[in-house]
């Protein structure tokens, strides 16, 4: 996580503060009764909201104000200062607001305000909404259509056995044994009942008829839709390694996958992780937290090299080596025979089980069957609409025209998937809103969190400001002089400011 809230004495905001102590764009952490509250100023306007973000309780006082919004320093959620609404994921729930009075040169925070009721969105209303996929994009879309006042039937169909979950946690706290099972669902089951979302689990949509506007499920039943969202995500790549079909070889995408790894980890002493991307490395870190010896095997010369460059890759490797991880870089797995993993060099490593994390491929079979236009994923326009009328796509599966790079891109980031789900939801209701959010992701390695804004598949210049070793730096990726992406370690505010500049 990012920096903790500074341990400053909390002023009693109900007694008031001198207006001169709160500059434009400034925030003060205080309390009102038992609540921690942030008092914020934007221009001449004053706002008071709960101090903790509704995602993972990040300290909003360490974030930034942009217009009448506050941005969370940890994973860039954005809240309206006027209403407390969680305008952008990863936070989905609102935060409470308080009334603020100006009395001469003093600012006083009064009573907590009732939750704002959003007025239903204008625009055409589909007769029903079907969402295929109960992951980040699908669940954010289901919540958003209800938040925007849609009253028609909403069906959320998921091939997963579990209700929608906080997927990023599966390779982090949950796998490390630091989060309990009940932390993982995004909402309790009641949420879907209360919001009249028909959540169908363990069900796969097997075909779509875009002319008749129906989906067919794996049990043969059919559902009509007025508007359809495809949010089928991605599946782990299964490399054709002899022996990789063995039960000792695990992949990580679902809650069930993570539970299965946890179960094996309970008695394991040694694990081989194949792949040095984000998921492979997070699995390595979590298994080290359980005291298990970990060997990582990957073909690149440094971990994360393709995404973040060689300098960051070497630094991340050193972080893991300090924690006892052994790397076999520049190597692939030749075969797996029970407990023995043979590498391309001929060397072998004995282990209790293997986790393969060598990337994912978008789950496009359904879209291909439906005859939608494809482009290494489902091709969507700036409104996230596919080539079929009334059919939208969002998340890992969608390739969209990104206004920041000027390229059509597809990314595999939690926050992007949720934000696309939210934009698609508003467009399902007729909003015609462009998806123009700056891509953002985070990844955690022990006490270092990397935040990354923008998108750079290729760059011709990478400049590091600060020190990776001191966990205090920004890394700027440019092509042709243009900044494409900025990664930060220990500089959450700089990451938020970079995102705001790119948005502008």
> Is residue 128 within 8 Å of 224, Cβ to Cβ?
yes
Name beta bridge partners: 464.
475
Select from 13, 40, 49, 77 the one that contacts ligand FES (CB under 6 A).
77
Name the segment binding ligand FAD (CB under 6 A); options: 118-126, 147-155, 163-171, 187-195.
163-171
Select from 5, 54, 69, 171 the one that contacts ligand FAD (CB under 6 A).
171
Decide: is 132 part of the binding site for ligand FAD (CB under 6 A): yes
Out of ligand FAD, ligand FES, none, what residue 75 binds, judged by CB under 5 to 8 A for its kind, is: ligand FES
**HEC string of 175-235?**
HHCCCCHHHCECCCHHHHHHCCEEEECCCCEEEEECCCCEEEECCCCEEECCEEEECCCEE
Write b or e for each residue in 336-355: b if 16 or more Cβ atoms lie within 10 A of its Cβ, otherwise e: beebebbbeeeeebebbbbb
Decide: is 49 part of the binding site for ligand FES (CB under 6 A): no
Decide: is 64 part of the binding site for ligand FES (CB under 6 A): no
Name the segment binding ligand FES (CB under 6 A); options: 53-61, 240-248, 332-340, 343-351.
53-61
> Is residue 92 within 8 Å of 186, Cβ to Cβ?
yes
Out of ligand FES, ligand FAD, none, what residue 157 binds, judged by CB under 5 to 8 A for its kind, is: ligand FAD
Q: How many residues bind ligand FES (CB under 6 A)?
A: 10
CA distance 325 to 93: 38
CA 139 to each of CA 67, 220, 230, 436: distance values in angstroms, whole numbers, following the listed order:
28, 24, 11, 20
Name beta bridge partners: 256.
none
Q: How many residues bind ligand FAD (CB under 6 A)?
A: 37
Select from 30, 58, 126, 490 the one that contacts ligand FES (CB under 6 A).
58
By rule CB under 6 A, what string of x and - marks binding of each residue 85-114 to ligand FES? -----xx-----------------------
Q: How do 482-489 and 472-479 pair as beta strands?
A: antiparallel
> Is residue 92 within 8 Å of 140, Cβ to Cβ?
yes
Select from 71, 125, 399, 413 the one that contacts ligand FAD (CB under 6 A).
413
CA distance 138 to 400: 17
Looking at the chain, the number of H-run helices and the number of E-run strands are 10, 37
Decide: is 166 part of the binding site for ligand FAD (CB under 6 A): no
Out of ligand FES, ligand FAD, none, what residue 52 binds, judged by CB under 5 to 8 A for its kind, is: none
CA distance 44 to 102: 11
Measuring CA to CA, which residue among 127, 135, 191 is closest to residue 158?
A: 135
Decide: is 449 part of the binding site for ligand FAD (CB under 6 A): no
Residue 91 is classified by DSSP as -
Decide: is 423 part of the binding site for ligand FAD (CB under 6 A): no
Site for ligand FAD in 426-445 (CB under 6 A): 441-443
Among residues 415 and 494, whose Cβ is nearest to ligand FAD?
Answer: 415
Among residues 79 and 315, whose Cβ is nearest to ligand FES?
Answer: 79
Decide: is 253 part of the binding site for ligand FAD (CB under 6 A): yes
Among residues 55 and 146, whose Cβ is nearest to ligand FES?
Answer: 55
Beta strands in 338-493 (DSSP E): 340-343, 348-350, 353-356, 360-362, 378-379, 391-393, 398-402, 407-409, 440-445, 448-454, 461-467, 472-479, 482-489
Decide: is 72 part of the binding site for ligand FES (CB under 6 A): yes
Burial class (CB in 10 A: 0-12, 13-18, 19+), 177: middle
Decide: is 55 part of the binding site for ligand FES (CB under 6 A): yes
Helices 278-289, 310-322: axis angle to 10 degrees equals 20
What torsion do the CA atoms of 413, 419, 421, 424 make, to the nearest 10 degrees?
Answer: -130
By rule CB under 6 A, what string of x and - marks binding of each residue 328-367 to ligand FAD? -----------------------------------x--x-
Structure tokens at 254: 């679902």
Shortest Å, Cβ 237 to ligand FAD: 12
Select from 74, 79, 327, 441 the one that contacts ligand FES (CB under 6 A).
74
Decide: is 474 part of the binding site for ligand FAD (CB under 6 A): no
Q: Find the helix or strand (DSSP H, E) in which 277 lies.
A: none
Shortest Å, Cβ 496 to ligand FES: 10
Contacting positions for ligand FES (CB under 6 A):
53, 55-56, 58, 72, 74-75, 77, 90-91
Contacting positions for ligand FAD (CB under 6 A):
132-138, 157-160, 167-168, 170-171, 204-205, 231-234, 252-253, 279, 363, 366, 395-397, 412-415, 417, 441-443
């Amino acid at each position: 996580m990012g920096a903790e809230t500074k341990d400053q004495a909390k002023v009693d905001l109900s007694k008031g503060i001198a207006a001169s102590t709160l500059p434009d764009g400034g925030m003060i952490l205080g309390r009102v009764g038992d609540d921690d509250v942030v008092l914020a100023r934007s221009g001449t306007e004053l706002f008071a909201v709960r101090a903790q973000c509704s995602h993972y309780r990040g300290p909003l006082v360490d974030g930034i104000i942009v217009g009448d919004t506050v941005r969370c320093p940890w994973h860039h959620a954005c809240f309206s200062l006027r209403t407390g609404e969680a305008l952008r994921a990863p936070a989905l729930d609102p935060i409470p607001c308080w009334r603020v009075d100006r009395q001469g040169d003093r600012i006083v925070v009064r009573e907590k305000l009732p939750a704002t009721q959003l007025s239903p969105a204008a625009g055409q209303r589909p007769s029903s909404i079907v969402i295929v996929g109960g992951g980040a994009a699908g669940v954010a879309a289901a919540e958003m259509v209800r938040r925007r006042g849609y009253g028609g039937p909403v069906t959320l169909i998921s091939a997963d056995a579990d209700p929608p979950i906080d997927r990023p946690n599966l390779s982090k706290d949950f796998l490390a044994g630091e989060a309990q099972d009940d932390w993982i669902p995004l909402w309790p089951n009641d949420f879907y009942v209360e919001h009249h979302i028909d959540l169908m689990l363990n069900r796969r949509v097997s075909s779509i008829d875009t002319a008749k506007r129906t989906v067919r499920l794996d049990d043969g039943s059919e559902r009509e839709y007025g508007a359809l969202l495809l949010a089928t995500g991605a599946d782990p790549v299964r490399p054709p390694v002899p022996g990789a079909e063995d039960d000792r070889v695990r992949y990580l995408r679902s809650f069930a996958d993570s539970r299965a790894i946890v179960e094996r980890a309970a008695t394991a002493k040694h694990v081989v992780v194949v792949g040095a991307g984000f998921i492979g490395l997070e699995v390595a870190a979590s298994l080290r937290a359980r005291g298990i010896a970990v060997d990582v095997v990957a073909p690149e010369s440094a971990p994360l090299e393709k995404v973040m460059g060689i300098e960051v890759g070497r630094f991340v490797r050193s972080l893991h080596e300090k924690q006892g991880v052994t790397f076999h870089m520049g190597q692939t797995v030749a075969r797996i025979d029970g407990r023995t993993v043979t590498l391309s060099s001929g060397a072998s490593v004995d282990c209790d089980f293997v986790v393969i994390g060598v990337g994912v491929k978008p789950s496009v079979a359904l879209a291909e069957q439906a005859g939608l236009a494809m482009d290494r994923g489902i091709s969507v326009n700036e409104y996230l609409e596919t080539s079929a009328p009334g059919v939208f796509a969002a998340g890992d599966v969608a390739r969209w025209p990104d206004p920041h790079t000027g390229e059509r891109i597809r990314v595999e980031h939690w926050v992007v998937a949720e934000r696309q789900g939210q934009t698609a939801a508003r467009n399902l209701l007729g909003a015609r809103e462009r998806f123009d959010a700056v891509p953002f992701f985070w990844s955690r390695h022990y006490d270092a969190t990397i935040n990354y804004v923008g998108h750079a598949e290729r760059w011709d210049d990478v400049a590091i400001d600060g020190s990776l070793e001191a966990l205090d730096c920004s890394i700027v990726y440019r092509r042709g002089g243009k900044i494409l992406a900025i990664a930060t370690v220990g500089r959450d505010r700089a990451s938020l400011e970079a995102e705001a500049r790119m948005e502008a």
